[in-house]
């Protein structure tokens, strides 16, 4: 079985690069193309950050930290809005709703908070009690 890794092409990264923050200080940051490819890989597979292949994308902590910091700065929202305005086939612009997870309480069970009466009481039968 061959491993399938996601990697941004040079043309894709050229469209993304102008929207990335450039106000970094301190140590030079890891290659943006590598990190973004790793973040997309984790999000597409639905895996944990720890499971991202280190040899391919670098340390999982770097992927997670970059994802969280850019989410706080709304870099992802700005990037998505800019790329969606650029056009292209609709299939590449849409978000697939099947990837959205529902809360564990959202499935099964009766809906609503309506109190239901038992069949015997609804039919006019006499009240039963347990003594």
Mean pLDDT calculated for residue range 24-50 = 88
- Look at residue 74 in the predicted model and tell me its pLDDT: 92
Selection from 82, 96, 70 nearest residue 16 by Cα: 82
Task: Report whether pLDDT(46) > 70.
Answer: yes
Per-residue pLDDT tens over the stretch 68-80: 999 999 999 888 8
Instruction: Give the C-alpha separation, 75 to 115, whole Å.
Output: 47
Q: What is the per-residue pLDDT for 30?
A: 82
The values of phi and psi at residue 23, to 5°, are -90, 50
Answer for the pair 83, 15: CB distance below 8 angstroms, yes or no.
Answer: yes
Cα torsion angle, 50, 56, 57, 61, sign:
positive
- Report domain extents, the chain: 34-97
Work out the percent of the chain whose per-residue pLDDT is above 90: 23
d(CA 38, CA 59): 10
pTM summary value: 0.62
Q: Mind listing the pLDDT tens digit for each residue in 93-114? A: 555 555 556 666 666 655 556 6
E strand or H helix that includes residue 23: none
pLDDT at 126 over 80: no
Q: pLDDT at residue 1 above 50?
A: no
Mean pLDDT, range 18-33, rounded to an integer: 84
What is the torsion angle, in degrees rounded to the nearest 10, for the CA atoms of residue 10, residue 41, residue 67 and residue 60? -110
């Amino acid at each position: 079985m061959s491993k399938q890794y996601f990697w941004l092409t040079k043309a894709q990264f050229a469209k993304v690069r102008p929207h990335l923050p450039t106000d970094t200080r301190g140590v030079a940051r890891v290659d943006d193309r590598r990190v973004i490819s790793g973040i997309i890989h984790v999000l597409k597979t639905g895996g944990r950050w720890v499971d991202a292949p280190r040899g391919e994308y670098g340390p999982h902590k770097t992927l997670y930290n970059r994802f969280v910091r850019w989410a706080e700065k709304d870099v992802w929202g700005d990037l998505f809005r800019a790329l969606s305005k650029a056009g292209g086939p609709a299939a590449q612009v849409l978000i697939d709703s099947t990837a959205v997870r529902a809360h564990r309480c959202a499935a099964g069970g009766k809906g609503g908070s309506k109190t239901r009466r038992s069949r015997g009481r609804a039919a006019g039968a006499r009240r039963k009690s347990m003594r």
